[in-house]
Amino acid sequence: MSTAAAPQLVPLNADQHGLLARFAADADNSALLWASGYLAGMAQALTPTPLATAIAPAVAVQPATILYGSQTGNARRVAEALHASVQAAGLPARLVRADAYATRELANEKLLYLVVSTQGEGDPPDDAIGFTEFLHGKRAPRLPQLKYAVLGLGDSSYADFCGIARKLDARLAELGASRVQALGEADLDIDTVAAPWREQALGHARELLKPAPTAHLATVTPLRPQAATAWSHEKPFAAELLANQGITGREFKGTGFRQYGAIDKDVRHIELSLEGSGLAYEPGDALGIRHRNPDALVDAVLEATRLDGGIAVEHEGASLPLSRWLADKRELTRLSRPLLATLAERANASELAQLLEPGNSGLAALLNDHQLIDALRRWPAAWDAQALVAALRPQAQRLYSIASSRKRVGEEAHLTVDVLRYRAHGFDHLGAASGFLAGLEEGAQVPVYVEPNERFRVPADASRDILMIGPGTGVAPFRGFVQERAETGASGRNWLFFGAQHFNTGFLYQTEWQDALQKGELHRLDLAFSRDQVESSHKDVRAVSNGPRQKIYVQQRLREQGRDVYDWLQSGAHLYVCGAIGMGKDVHAALLDIVREHGDGDAEAAAEYLSSLQREGRYARDVY
């Protein structure tokens, strides 16, 4: 079985060639010169150093390899910093993204630093899927020659904290490699762990590597083009809210909270002005929001801890009233392990202490169905203001897929936000960021920044077809994709699979999709309404049919269209999946079945087919 290949006149595939041509057409002389140095540096850094080996014995100059796997750039930034400091020390090192790493080189590596985040539910970031599979597969070599160190990036509000880093660290040891320093496990305050880990790694590099010969030092360090602006999570841009519109059929009126599992949905279409920010995004990127915690939640935390919001608290060089710390600076909904450990100690709660013991599966449930306030109420403790601020971590970032193309909406960004609002443990709960957005009036200021996602882009070759699978708010980036492809006159076809609980209330952007079908901007639309019990059919839209109580999901529609899905892939289509993590896994399983059934291979060949699409950048997922 093989995937469709573009004719190759140069050693680039059609997408790469298109990208390069587009860049060269726009670039002025100095940009072209800069890029040629940049690309030469990249090539040299990625090439296993034949130049260096010719100058000195292999052992002496073989560079350390710094490998990273990163979804949103954090692990990449840490790896880049390590690379820069090793090079600044005059030592040879190369920086490689995990999916650009030729795994056959592993058997010859001498010193490997691996920086990797954990995604999904203990899954590798997309760019490290292949490396992770290789290392755990039958072809992984014995590695007695290898010295290594692993730094994991994660979030201790997830059950499987730094799970992938732990697995890779253990697996390298199992293959006979020698760990030169303990596994680092960085929580959201990344530098607390990453900075000392990097220092230690540099120390080992000094011991284990010989200085690079001058020729090697002269290599151009691969630079990343600078972001268009300096807005970030720490320094967001104040965007004006232009629209905040309920787009679920029966609009939520804000008079009550849905019970856990009840069907009321409140999805908002949000429009923000980026005017004056210089913020540039591409469809596929996400917008980070710095929310303000709701006043009612701040009051509830003060009540549960029996503290006065007016007390001044000095922390990390800033002095603010406790209520300001809680409203703007601290994470007030998602739990973290360090917070729970402090709570267990202060409340003398042996039950909680037990949950925190390694391997206790009860912790995952606690992290998933308790917000901070639930834990504070469940385990009352004596707090002082200073200790509370120190125990709570800084606000975690909330990302929302951008649902627009600048080519259509200009200096605006649109979002599709499902407002998390539910009743549990006897109280009403609101998602901090989605609740913040839902409560804003037109004209309000929203602190934002762009989080690029370079792996989730419309094909550079506009003649390629695309398949987009995005139930629920997973449809957001595909609104941007379809706008982008219409505005650029892309000749490839666009096929969308969308799902929601109900046709009447959950068909997000229904009229826009129907318009797009009529205008030829969208070519196929398949729908799956999971909780509709009656059969219905709509013009231009594939019929929706549910048996009693049987849920219909997008993957069923994919299976029904399996022959066409496979044909599209065979003729070079790009495939995108966006939405909930569980959906992404089930859709992947359906795709495996489709490839197995319609291709001529077995399960292993089908898995390799999808892996190769991922490697080629033709199968991208954005799941949360």
Ligand X SMILES: Cc1cc2nc3c(=O)[nH]c(=O)nc-3n(C[C@H](O)[C@H](O)[C@H](O)COP(=O)(O)O)c2cc1C
Ligand Y SMILES: NC(=O)c1ccc[n+]([C@@H]2O[C@H](COP(=O)([O-])OP(=O)(O)OC[C@H]3O[C@@H](n4cnc5c(N)ncnc54)[C@H](OP(=O)(O)O)[C@@H]3O)[C@@H](O)[C@H]2O)c1
Ligand Z SMILES: Cc1cc2nc3c(=O)[nH]c(=O)nc-3n(C[C@H](O)[C@H](O)[C@H](O)COP(=O)(O)OP(=O)(O)OC[C@H]3O[C@@H](n4cnc5c(N)ncnc54)[C@H](O)[C@@H]3O)c2cc1C
Options 103-111, 141-149, 161-169, 408-416: segment touching ligand X (CB under 6 A): 161-169
Provide CB contacts within 8 A for 558, sequence distance 6+.
469, 497, 526, 565, 587, 590, 591, 594
CB of 120: closest distance to ligand Z in angstroms?
Answer: 10
For residues 562 and 579, give the distance between their C-alpha atoms in angstroms, rounded to a whole number. Answer: 21
For residues 471 and 586, give the distance between their C-alpha atoms in angstroms, rounded to a whole number. Answer: 12
Are 524 and 513 in contact, with CB atoms under 8 Å apart? no
Options 102-110, 167-175, 412-420, 484-492: segment touching ligand Z (CB under 6 A): 412-420
108 or 259: CB nearest ligand Y: 259
DSSP 276: T
| Residue 155 binds which of ligand Z, ligand Y, ligand X, none (CB < 5-8 A, kind-dependent) | ligand X
| Furthest C-alpha separation in the chain | 75
The reply to whether 153 sits near ligand X by the rule CB under 6 A is: yes
The reply to whether 476 sits near ligand Z by the rule CB under 6 A is: yes
Options 119-127, 223-231, 272-280, 482-490: segment touching ligand X (CB under 6 A): 119-127
The reply to whether 473 sits near ligand Z by the rule CB under 6 A is: yes
For ligand Y, the binding residues (CB under 6 A) are 418, 420, 471-474, 499-501, 530-531, 551, 553-555, 579-583, 586, 624
Rule CB under 6 A: which of 88-117 touch ligand X? 117
Instruction: For Cα atoms 530, 536, 538, give the angle at the middle one, nearest 5 degrees.
Output: 110
Which of helix, strand or coil describes residue 158? coil
Instruction: For Cα atoms 600, 605, 606, give the angle at the middle one, nearest 5 degrees.
Output: 80
Question: In the set 3, 119, 336, 556, which binds ligand X (CB under 6 A)?
Answer: 119
Which tokens is 456 given?
Answer: 């989730």
Are 525 and 513 in contact, with CB atoms under 8 Å apart? yes
Q: Tokens 């229904």 identify what position?
A: 510
Beta-carbon count within 10 A of 249 CB: 16
CA distances from 189 to 218, 338, 396 (A): 34, 12, 9
150 or 239: CB nearest ligand Z: 239
Options 158-166, 208-216, 414-422, 497-505: segment touching ligand Z (CB under 6 A): 414-422
The reply to whether 334 sits near ligand Z by the rule CB under 6 A is: yes
15 or 331: CB nearest ligand Z: 331
The reply to whether 121 sits near ligand X by the rule CB under 6 A is: yes
| Residue 209 binds which of ligand Z, ligand X, ligand Y, none (CB < 5-8 A, kind-dependent) | none
CB of 401: closest distance to ligand Z in angstroms?
Answer: 4
For residues 309 and 327, give the distance between their C-alpha atoms in angstroms, rounded to a whole number. Answer: 10
CB of 27: closest distance to ligand X in angstroms?
Answer: 29
Which of helix, strand or coil describes residue 249? coil
Provide CB contacts within 8 A for 380, sequence distance 6+.
304, 347
Rule CB under 6 A: which of 416-435 touch ligand Z? 416-418, 420, 422, 424, 431-435
34 or 379: CB nearest ligand Z: 379
Q: How many CA atoms lie within 13 A of 278 on its CB side?
A: 8
Alpha-carbon Rg for the chain, nearest whole angstrom, is 26
Pairing of strands 111-117, 64-69: parallel
Question: In the set 49, 65, 72, 494, which binds ligand X (CB under 6 A)?
Answer: 72
Question: In the set 99, 133, 160, 384, which binds ligand X (CB under 6 A)?
Answer: 160
x-marked contacts with ligand X along 177-196 as a string, rule CB under 6 A: --------------------
For residues 584 and 469, give the distance between their C-alpha atoms in angstroms, rounded to a whole number. Answer: 9
73 sits in the region (left: phi over 0; alpha: psi -120 to 50; else beta) called left
The reply to whether 233 sits near ligand Z by the rule CB under 6 A is: no
Which tokens is 568 given?
Answer: 């599209």
313 DSSP β-pair partners: 320
For residues 407 and 213, give the distance between their C-alpha atoms in angstroms, rounded to a whole number. Answer: 48
CB of 420: closest distance to ligand Y in angstroms?
Answer: 6
The reply to whether 401 sits near ligand Z by the rule CB under 6 A is: yes
x-marked contacts with ligand Z along 290-329 as a string, rule CB under 6 A: ----------------------------------------
Q: What is the 3-state secondary structure (H, E, C) of 20-31?
A: HHHHHHHCCHHH
Question: In the set 281, 400, 449, 576, which binds ligand Z (CB under 6 A)?
Answer: 400
Question: In the set 13, 118, 132, 510, which binds ligand X (CB under 6 A)?
Answer: 118
499 DSSP β-pair partners: 528
Binding-residue total with ligand X (CB under 6 A): 22
406 or 421: CB nearest ligand Y: 421
| Residue 554 binds which of ligand Z, ligand Y, ligand X, none (CB < 5-8 A, kind-dependent) | ligand Y
> Site residues (CB under 6 A) for ligand X?
70-75, 117-122, 125, 153-155, 158, 160-163, 624
> Site residues (CB under 6 A) for ligand Z?
260, 286, 333-334, 368-371, 398-401, 416-418, 420, 422, 424, 431-435, 473, 476, 622, 624
